[in-house]
Amino acid sequence: MFNFLLSKDVRKILKRKDSDAGEKGRALEELRGSLFNEFRSSEGAKRQQQRTCGPAAALFFNFLVAVGIIFMNKVVLQTVKFKFPILLSLIHYVVSWLLMAVLNVFFLLPASPSSKSTQLSALFTLGFVMALSTGLSNVSLKYNSIGFYQMAKIAVTPSIVMAEFALYKKKVSWPKALALTVVSIGVAVATVTDLQFHLFGACVALAWIVPSAINKVLWSTLQQQENWTALALMWKTTPITLLFLAAMLPCLDPPGVLSFDWNFSNTSVILASAILGFLLQWSGALALGATSAISHVVLGQFKTCFILLGNYYIFGSNPGITSICGAFTAIIGMSVYTYLNLKQQPNKIFPRQAFLLPKSKLSKENGSSHKENGNSHNGHYSAESV
């Protein structure tokens, strides 16, 4: 028996089994290492987000949550009669931060890029304009009619175009500019039926336009060019947003918050609204990271037309033939804009997303670009058409 175990064939079999076990162990170690890099590095987290939530999924997710929070906020403001829009925004962001803190405790929060890749001023600016955008939007909705509120939202589209050109030298092609004009005119005809003027509300609406545009541009750019994921960027900027919302609270909210009836039913509705607010912020960030700031605005305008036509066909409400024609005109413009985006998308590669390409393709593109351009690319942001 001992001689059999020492025979040459048996020793070969045992060595083969040992080598197989070693290869399996190395494979498991490599798999574990790749999973760690996938979830605990900013590049891996970015790849994971892009694989699990593409542009269509992100836009659809944001669309569903946005429609849901409209009805929930109607319950909060009309049924519950919670008349404190800045405080409501503050509650939303506090709940969002708590939910992300739970994810962070269980190591489920994606990693952030290194501090060298993103300037602190960019994160501070994003947190600041996010507080202004969210807070002033709720105040504008409280004091203005729906028609005036929609007019202010339409003005966000050209503001985004100007902000992207001023900050990153991005230009909009003439076909896309024409499609966006058709969308804006259609939404204006469909929704602007009651332009009731309120001086304070008008000032708030005008003050809201620029922060809202810059907010969307920064959310989109930081994710696409700085390897940020939606949750990681929310985690970093939410404390700054909370700070500025708390500063806006005594200036824009009416007194009497302590006298509000904080019973179980009212508190449950407000907390449900806050959870939807977290999902809205997350889905909006995913949509902005997967598409662009203008595409996100177009989605919001599509949501407005969808609700108007849905009320007409499902619930029998009659907004008038003019509003219906305006909604269909806007949807035609949105379809053309979407087609132009899909036509351009295969050729569009963001600078910080080059690591997603296969190495052979990347080396070929790098070689050709060096031959054509030499050392002309010195910064992250160059002029491009959108």
Question: What is the Cα–Cα distance from 280 to 293, expressed in whole angstroms?
Answer: 15
Using a cut of 0.85, tell me whether the model's pTM lies above it. no
Tens digit of each residue's pLDDT (9 = 90 or more) over 112-148: 887 666 788 889 999 999 999 988 988 887 787 766 7
pLDDT class of 385 with cuts at 50, 70, 90: very low
Would you state the structure tokens that stand for residue 213, as one six-digit string?
A: 């545009």
* Residue 378: per-residue pLDDT: 41
CA 146, 151, 152 angle in degrees (round to 5)?
100
* Residue 362: per-residue pLDDT: 38
Whose structure tokens read 């100007």? Answer: 162
**Cβ contact 214:160 at 8 Å:** no
* Residue 21: per-residue pLDDT: 52
Question: What is the Cα–Cα distance from 382 to 373, expressed in whole angstroms?
Answer: 13
Which element (helix H / strand E) includes 220?
helix 199-226
In this structure, which amino acid lies at residue 8?
Answer: K
The larger pLDDT score, comparing residue 267 to residue 370, is at: 267
Considering only 50-54, 188-192, 205-209, 273-277, which range has the smallest mean pLDDT? 188-192
* Residue 257: per-residue pLDDT: 87
Tens digit of each residue's pLDDT (9 = 90 or more) over 282-319: 999 999 988 888 888 888 888 778 777 776 776 676 77
DSSP assigned state of 385:
E
Question: What is the Cα–Cα distance from 348 to 384, expressed in whole angstroms?
Answer: 10
Query: C-alpha 54: how far from its chain's center?
Result: 12
**Cβ contact 290:61 at 8 Å:** no
**Cβ contact 68:307 at 8 Å:** no
> How far is it between the farthest Cα atoms of the chain?
102
* Residue 152: per-residue pLDDT: 78
